[in-house]
């Protein structure tokens, strides 16, 4: 089969490791021909080009700037994606008949490009629902029901509904996501919605004691403290104000050390807190190359996930998979609508509290501090990764629901 994958993720090879390349490698392993449109933003000053190997053809399509830019440029660039993708398909894939189109959110603005291929080739379509927009923006106040933002919300809500309507299958990250989609979109046929979780190639990234000591010494991370690591985006969805409250509550706790790695729109808040309070048990680092990040995470004791308590949509951050590959248990502070915390607790690889009270955070933090052997939870995490969040499992889900029809 010829499979077209549409994404905003910038990558140039299937040898890279993330939730999309790991899945696409599975398709290539099963003798499907994989075509990908992976854009490059204008700021990189590169023209569109094709990258071809035996297993994959990647169209690096030049688009406007979307990441780390002002809201006007981001908005214009996002809206211009559809005609650019259609033009790219016509120019570079004119002679290719696609059997299946796979696409993920964000964004929700692929509709016309998907419809073009669906009509032209009679292709089947599969949505990997990783982001429920625009409701997530409403939840944290980026969009509102008043003024011009109300009309922006209505515009993107219509786009969201159209995306669902043209999808032959909708793969959701967790059972809570399936329930949410069906509850708030009653026009969607329940038979086409299924759990198709975030997944990776389950590589064991854990370190032995000798290597853990070596890495901690290299990065000046204490050997005699329980180290809690947060890695990833530091933006509004992560509820950074609450994270700072949690860090403040532990400034005199000599048993713990917090390592925060990443960047995002709220990074400055953490930096200001660090400079103002100068906590001795908190370290803030900018985003690292993936290889370095994987190693430093594996040298820690517990992975942390934070989500804003106002969310009504059930987020399921993919950074969980990095912790599981490193055999780390997880500390989760989130809203009460996502099921990520419940899944971690029920399957013995983490603890959860709501992200609206420091007392809850302190309680689960103490449970991790007092635990004699974290390796048991870490082992459970890696086993659960292998049996539920492996890219081969996600491939089978899509294969059974789409390819075998």
pLDDT digit string (tens) for 7-21? 988 888 888 899 999
Tell whether 181 and 215 lie within a shared domain: no
Residue the block writes with tokens 């995470």: 297
**Looking at the predicted structure, is the pLDDT value of residue 100 above 60?**
yes
Half-sphere exposure of 67 (CA within 13 A, CB side): 13
pLDDT at 274 > cutoff 90: yes
- Please compute, for residue 156, the number of CA atoms within 13 A of its CA located in the half-sphere on the CB side: 24
Residues 216 and 71: their CA atoms lie apart, in Å, by 39
Is pLDDT at 230 greater than 80 in this prediction?
Answer: yes
pLDDT at 70: 65
Same domain assignment for residues 353 and 223: yes
Instruction: Check whether residue 175 and residue 217 sit in a common domain.
Output: no
| pLDDT digit string, tens, across residues 44-97 | 777 888 888 878 999 988 887 676 666 666 667 677 788 889 998 999 999 999
| Number of domains into which the chain is organized | 2
pLDDT tens for residues 353-392? 999 999 999 999 999 999 988 999 999 999 999 999 999 9
Strand 100-105 and strand 2-6: pairing? parallel
User: Tens digit of pLDDT for each residue in 102-154?
Assistant: 999 887 778 899 999 999 999 999 999 999 988 888 888 888 878 888 888 89
One domain, residues 234 and 304: yes
Tell whether 230 and 341 lie within a shared domain: yes
* Residue-range definition of the domain harbouring residue 215: 209-387
pLDDT band at 265 (very low <50, low <70, confident <90, very high): confident
What is the spatial distance between Cα 36 and Cα 60, in angstroms, rounded to a whole number?
Answer: 8
Residues with Cβ within 8 Å of 171's Cβ and at least 6 positions away in sequence, in order, are 126, 127, 128, 129, 194, 195, 196, 394, 397, 398
Q: What is the pTM of this model?
A: 0.91
Q: Are both 28 and 54 inside the same structural domain?
A: yes
CA distance 194 to 398: 10
Q: How confident is the model at residue 42 (pLDDT cuts 50, 70, 90)?
A: confident
Q: Which pLDDT score is estimated for 73?
A: 66
Q: Read off the pLDDT of residues 277-323 as tens digits, 9 standing for 90 and up.
A: 999 999 999 988 888 999 999 999 999 999 999 999 999 999 999 99
Is omega for the bond preceding 106 within 30 degrees of 0, making it cis? Answer: yes
pLDDT exceeding 70 applies to what percent of the chain? Answer: 96
Burial readout 23-34 (b: 16 or more C-beta within 10 A, e: otherwise): bbbbbbeeebbb
- Among candidates 90, 118, 100, which has minimal Cα distance to 34? 100
Same domain, 12 and 124: yes
More confident residue, 150 or 172: 172
- How far is the C-alpha of 269 from the C-alpha of 200, rounded, in Å? 32
Element counts in the chain: helices (H) and strands (E): 16, 16
Grouping H, G, I as helix, E, B as strand and the rest as coil, residue 90 is helix
DSSP per residue over 325-340, as a string? HTT--EEEEE-SS-SH
Collapse the DSSP code of 126 into the 3-class scheme (helix H, G, I; strand E, B; otherwise coil) and give the result. Answer: strand
Q: Is the peptide bond before 216 cis (omega within 30 degrees of 0)?
A: no
Residues 274 and 189 in one domain: no
What pLDDT score was predicted for residue 356? 92
**What pLDDT is recorded for position 8?**
86
pLDDT, position 256: 96
Q: What's the confidence (pLDDT) of residue 137?
A: 87
d(CA 135, CA 317): 16
At 65 the pLDDT is 66
Domain CATH code at residue 214 = 3.40.50.2000
Looking at the structure, tell me whether residues 331 and 399 fall in a common domain. no
Res 80: pLDDT: 75
Residues 142 and 179 in one domain: yes
Can you tell me the distance from the alpha carbon of 301 to that of 282, in angstroms, rounded to the nearest whole number? 15
Task: Provide the 3-class DSSP secondary structure of residue 253.
Answer: coil
Shared domain check, 184 and 47: yes
CB atoms within 10 A of CB 337: 17
Same domain, 25 and 152: yes
Distances in Å between the Cα of 359 and the Cα atoms of 276, 307, 311, 362, 404 are 23, 16, 20, 5, 50
Angle at 300 between CA 295 and CA 306, to 5 degrees: 105
Report which of residues 241 and 81 the model is more confident about. 241
Q: In this structure, what token pair is assigned to residue 243?
A: 């994270």
What pLDDT, on the 0 to 100 scale, is given for residue 162?
Answer: 94
């Amino acid at each position: 089969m010829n499979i077209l994958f549409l994404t905003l993720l910038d990558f140039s090879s299937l040898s890279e490791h993330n939730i999309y390349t790991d899945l696409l490698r599975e398709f290539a392993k099963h003798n499907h021909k994989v075509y990908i449109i992976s854009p490059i933003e204008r700021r990189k000053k590169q023209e569109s080009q094709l990258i071809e190997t035996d297993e994959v053809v990647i169209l690096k399509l030049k688009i406007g700037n979307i990441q780390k830019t002002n809201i006007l440029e981001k908005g214009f660039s996002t809206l211009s994606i559809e005609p650019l993708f259609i033009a790219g398909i016509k120019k570079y894939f004119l002679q290719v008949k696609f059997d299946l189109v796979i696409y993920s959110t964000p964004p929700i603005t692929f509709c016309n490009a998907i419809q073009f291929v669906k009509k032209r080739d009679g292709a089947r379509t599969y949505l990997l629902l990783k982001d429920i927009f625009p409701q997530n923006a409403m939840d944290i106040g980026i969009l509102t029901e008043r003024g011009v933002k109300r009309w922006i919300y209505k515009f993107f809500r219509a786009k969201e509904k159209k995306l669902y309507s043209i999808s032959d299958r909708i793969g959701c990250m967790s059972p809570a996501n399936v329930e949410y989609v069906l509850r708030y979109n009653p026009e969607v046929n329940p038979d086409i919605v299924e759990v198709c979780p975030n997944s990776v190639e389950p590589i064991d990234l854990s370190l032995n004691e000798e290597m853990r000591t070596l890495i901690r010494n290299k990065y000046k991370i204490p050997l005699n403290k329980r180290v809690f690591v947060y890695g990833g985006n530091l933006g509004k969805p992560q509820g950074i104000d609450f994270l700072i409250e949690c860090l403040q509550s532990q400034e005199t706790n000599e048993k713990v050390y917090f390592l925060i790695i990443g960047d995002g729109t709220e990074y400055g808040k953490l930096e200001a807190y660090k400079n103002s309070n100068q906590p001795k048990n908190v370290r803030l680092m900018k985003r690292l190359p993936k290889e370095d990040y994987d190693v430093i995470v594996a040298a820690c004791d517990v992975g942390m996930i934070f989500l804003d308590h106002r969310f009504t949509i059930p987020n399921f951050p993919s950074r969980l998979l990095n912790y599981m590959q490193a055999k780390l248990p997880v500390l989760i502070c989130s809203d009460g609508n996502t099921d990520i915390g419940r899944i971690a607790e029920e399957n013995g690889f983490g603890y959860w509290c709501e992200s609206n009270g420091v007392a809850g955070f302190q309680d689960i933090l103490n449970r991790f501090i007092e635990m004699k052997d974290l390796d048991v939870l870490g082992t459970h995490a890696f086993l659960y990764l292998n049996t539920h969040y492996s890219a081969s499992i996600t491939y089978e889900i899509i294969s059974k629901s789409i390819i075998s029809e």
